[in-house]
Amino acid sequence: MTDPEGIVTTYTYDRLNQLKSISHPTLGLTSYSYDNASRLESKTLPNGIVTSYTFDDANRLKSLVTKHPNQTVLNQFGYTFDKSGNRLTRTTPEGTTTYTYDDLYQLKTVSAEPESFTYDPVGNRLTDQTGATYTYDDANRLLSRNGTTYQHDKNGNQTSDGATTYTYDEENRLLEVRDESNQSSVVSFQYDPFGNRMTKSVSGQTAYYLYDEEDTIGVFDLQGNPLATITHGPGIDEPLAALSHQPSAVSYYYSTDGLGSIDALASTTSDVKERYRYASFGSLTILNDEGQPQSTSVINHLNPLYTFTAREHDPESSLDFYRARSYEPSIGRFIQEDPLSLLDHDLSDLDLNQYLYTHNNPINFTDPEGLRDISILSGFKTQRYTVAIGPGTDGGGGIRIGNGGRIKTDPTPPYCPFSEDDAPHEILKFCEQLCDSRFDPKKEREAWNECFFDCLDSHN
């Protein structure tokens, strides 16, 4: 790939067409290895930091260990699962966190922090561990949270939380966040016709963003001077390294946890510069190299700050940018309605709520585009719409994957050789791997999605 500055990023592949390496002339070489089942086994960053992965027999990530070149463990995560396939525990050097879920697989309790949540029948959060209570209108718009009053426009976009106002364009994309106390602009954005964020303006400074498909690969100021250069891995939301050009050239390298959230930022010499800690729904705490909380990141405020699920966090507004929509971690929901949610005509109760993030299951799913849930349990990140597992309308068991009302046109869909009694994750894994063998999920996304849903339909 050659960017507008003429810098060439080179990709190599093994004999199975699996990505073997990514080489950037400044940020260096990232290499990958795979096990016999074509699952990611290791990733080596240019600074020598190595992350190793292991999986269980159901193809679920069992452990992730990241080590310094001197073999010091920088981060370590181990996972176990309940009988429904949800993560039951997460073990780190600091201890073990246990998760519980309700009958709809919504996150109910988290032992470590601790956290707890209750919900109404359509997934609106009613209470949390702080004692906060939430109220909503009939359209699932948040009205109040412990004395804070929220307002929305006619399209369902959140316009005020009492301290901050939000404005949107005709396509319901967030344009500006303003401080209500002095009516000053906190941050503003512009978008291209495809919905990519093209500019971000803060305190009179504006950054322009350059994309390779959905990934930001360059940031520039008004004069065209580079602010940042970023390389990404093969999956969606997989930043590998960033070169910050101003005020001086500094390179940073990313390591992640088992959700794909950025866990630490390291230097060229592999020293950790800052770490990130999250509540279950993504509320962020930044720690410095000594483990002390800090209010700002070492990343320039105009450059992407990748944090929860490796999405871009805007510290000015405390919102996370999930492409189609903005997400507010403190309340665990999007501040705009889902533009695709009502296209599926076979909706569950939770599907009727257009503000939910991952159907309240942020431990096992992500939503990188703000449009659909993605399971992070397998060795492959794959796009997924609504997942519903349980009894069918005819009394039998089954699995339903809502696909946003898309029409199937392939007369010979892939065959899925599983019975109704097979574990849902085995069915999903089969369909993922089958379609991975036929299409590149990053470059041929539409064809991959058609293959995936046709495979699931052949099981149903």
Confidence tier at 413 by pLDDT (50, 70, 90): very low
Give 386's pLDDT tier (boundaries 50, 70, 90).
very low
* Element counts in the chain: helices (H) and strands (E): 2, 38
210-247: pLDDT as tens digits: 999 899 999 999 999 999 999 999 989 999 999 999 88
Tell me, yes or no, whether 431 lies in a domain: no
Containing domain of residue 103, as a range? 10-375
**pLDDT given at position 406:** 26
Residue 66 CA to residue 263 CA, distance in Å, equals 10
Task: Please report whether residue 412 resides in a domain.
Answer: no
Model confidence over 249-262: pLDDT tens digits?
A: 999 999 999 999 99
CA nearest to 354, candidates 139, 151, 107: 139
Consecutive H or E run containing 434: helix 424-438
The DSSP code for 358 is: G
Kindly report the number of other CB atoms within 10 A of residue 108's CB atom. Answer: 17
Is pLDDT at 263 greater than 50 in this prediction?
yes
DSSP 133: B
Question: Mean of the pLDDT values across residues 120-138?
Answer: 98
Report the pLDDT averaged over residues 431-458. 75
Q: What is the CATH number of the domain that holds 285?
A: 2.180.10.10
CA 337, CA 370: separation in Å to the nearest integer? 10
Residue 414 forms part of a structural domain? no
What local confidence, expressed as pLDDT, does residue 458 receive?
66
pLDDT tens figures, 152-192: 999 999 999 999 999 999 999 999 999 999 999 999 999 99
The answer to the question of residue 113 being in a domain is yes
Q: What pLDDT score was predicted for residue 252?
A: 98
Q: What is the DSSP letter of 343?
A: G
Task: For residue 389, report the phi and psi dihedrals to the nearest 5 degrees.
Answer: -120, 130
Q: Average pLDDT of 264-277? A: 97
Query: 193 vs 190, 208, 369, CA distance in Å?
Result: 10, 15, 16
For residue 266, is it within any domain?
yes
Mean pLDDT of 3-10: 88
pLDDT band at residue 459 under the 50/70/90 scheme: low
What's 58's DSSP letter? T
Number of domains in the chain: 1
Share of the chain above pLDDT 70, in %: 86
pLDDT at 125 over 70: yes
Dump pLDDT digits (tens) for 339-372.
886 665 456 778 889 999 999 999 999 999 999 8
Residue 394 maps to a domain: no
- The answer as to whether 370 is a domain residue is yes
Residue 4 above 50 pLDDT? yes
Tokens standing for 360? 């309240």
pTM over 0.85: no
| 380 domain residue, yes or no | no
